Chains A and B, each alone.
Chain A
Amino acid sequence: MFARFFNALGRPLVRFIQYLGEVVMLAADTFHSLFTRRLRWKLFLNQIVEIGLLSQLVVVITGGFTGAVFSAQTYFQFHKIGMGSATGAVVSVALMRELGPVLTALMVTGRVGAAMSAEIGTMKVTEQIDALRALAVYPTDYLVVPRALAMMVSMPLLVAECIAVGIAVGYFVAISLLEINGTYYMANMVRWTRNRDIIMGVSKAFCFGILIVFISCHKGLTAREGAVGVGRATTEAVVNASLAVLISNFFLTMTLNIIYPAGYQ
């Protein structure tokens, strides 16, 4: 009975470890290519447009409404204890340290990660990746390196944008709808927000970008069995990348908090 239990437990565990290994190997291969092979600038710039430019609307709406609702909710609680003007500080720090990076990463996973795995997966099942290989082009160099680099550049900027829009909209909601004094709001926000909060948010963005791009590309590169396989790969890419973002966020918070501690010091 125990043997059967461990057998049942062991197989998915081995498969999971194998999956992690494959993603790490893809990442290692990509970084190796990044530093040793020529970069295809055109593909890189295309990906910057795809990841960075075309995500603008999604990121602005995410940041804006998160800032707005967080500002309102914080005010509703803080107002009761006479700390309404501290809302700005809470909104700003929370957006920088947690909400901005996590929500942007989840939105980018849905928009860009899904597209990456679907596009690469379709190329896989239609033999286009075999065609690349047959034409003496290493698929990692051609498909993964430009996407990974574009993601590493775009994600910190998208997160910074999300945070900025969130703070701006939160401020607007606070002073126009919640009648908080704008000067106190700003003063508290500036007083309690530190450069290290910005660095933490941007560092998380960079890490999340890496997780999203490698999980999505790996799913695309290992897609099988036609349209159904591509659909499955895309779904798994979005689910896995979202979970990876949420789980790693906790560990990143705990680790980065040692280097960049929260609070006024």
Chain B
Amino acid sequence: MSINDQPLANNSSMIAVQGLEKRIGSQEILRGVNLDVARGETLVIIGRSGGGKSVLLKHLIGLMRPNAGEIWIEGQNIIEMSERQLASIRQKVGILFQGSALFDSMTVAENIAFPLREAGERDPNVLRKRVSEMLEVMELQGQEEKMPVNLSGGMKKRVGLARSIVRQPSCILYDEPTSGLDPVVSDSINKLIRRLQKRLGVTSIVVTHDMKNAFHVADRIAYLHEGRIYFQGAPGELRQSPDQLIQDFLIGRSEGRGD
């Protein structure tokens, strides 16, 4: 498709990011990111570790505030919203954290039921039913009473995912869903993401540097490089791109010389 940033944002998009800039201390993390995500689409953001992918994702749900730029979610500019006003956006957008971020004082079932309880659901039968549905989707039956500390990395990711989708958001953000997992568990997470796309029809944004994961789930891939979107297009276009930087990233070749 194209190399370089693109002026985007239109009314039909689920998420539109314009000129997003973020500095942390003296370091410029994001230097004017433009991005547009259509409803129901799965966009994968790839890039090198420490390149600002997770920072970009956290901006999309208002967990971080930019130094400049705009973020529009379903037509609302979230930059102008206060922390309390963001609650309405956060009910529509779920996020899977890189480290899962499960509440370690709660069981698996309590973690999954948490968003429902906070939304005012008190009926224990409804909560139990919703939790067991989620556990079934995540293939985690029988793990209800376990504490997060007793779960493996892959199980934590799936519980985290169950917690973010239990309230049926219209968009899910995944922060490195397969990092630190063995290839088999990674594959099961990829299949799960695909299954959720088909089953719930949600808009998804996946941040990863795992190319297998990226090609497995993506409708479109964006390459974040030095704080800007360097490339965006279909997975096939990315593979065939003649650009040296992209090819180096795809085959995992370092830029170092003399070694």
Chain A interface residues toward B at CB < 8 A: 122-123, 126-128, 130-131, 133-138
B194 interface residue per 8 A CB criterion: no
Known: A130-B58, A131-B101, A138-B83. 19 other contacts (CB 8 A): A122-B104, A123-B103, A126-B99, A126-B101, A126-B104, A127-B97, A127-B98, A128-B104, A130-B97, A131-B102, A133-B62, A133-B83, A133-B90, A134-B97, A135-B118, A135-B163, A136-B88, A136-B118, A137-B118
- A selection of 7 A-B contacts at a CB cut-off of 8 Å is A122-B104, A126-B104, A128-B103, A130-B63, A136-B91, A136-B115, A137-B118
Question: Which residues of A are found within 8 Å of B90, using beta-carbon distances?
Answer: 133-136
- Whether a CB of chain A sits under 8 angstroms from the CB of B223 is no
**B206: interface (CB < 8 Å):** no
The proximity string for B residues 65-87 relative to A, scoring 1 for CB distances below 8 Å and 0 otherwise, is 00000000000000000011011
* B44 neighbours in A (Cβ, 8 Å): none
Q: A134 to B118: give the CA distance in the assembly, Å.
A: 12
A39 to chain B, nearest CB (A): 14
Residue of B at shortest CB range from A142? B118
Q: Is the CB of B91 within 8 A of A134?
A: no
0/1 interface trace, chain B 179-220, chain A, CB 8 Å (1 if under): 000000000000000000000000000000000000000000
* B88 contacts across to A, CB distance below 8 A: 136
Q: Report which residue of A123, A130, A136 has the largest number of chain B beta carbons within 10 angstroms of its beta carbon.
A: A136
When chains A and B are docked, how far (Å) is the Cα of A138 from the Cα of B84?
7
- Which residue from chain A places its CB closest to the CB of B111 in the assembled complex? A131
> Cα distance A131–B94 when bound, in Å?
10
A157 to B98, CA, bound (A): 44
Q: Which residues of B contact A130 (CB under 8 A)?
A: 58, 63, 97, 101
Q: Which of B116-156 touch A at CB < 8 Å?
A: 118-119
Which residues of A lie under 8 Å from residue B61 when comparing CB positions? 134
Cα A128 to Cα B163 in complex, Å, equals 13
A131 surroundings in chain B (CB, below 8 A): 97, 101-103, 163
Q: Mark B151-174, 1 if CB is under 8 A from A, else 0.
A: 000000000000110000000000
Chain A residues closer than 8 Å to B84, beta-carbon distance: 138
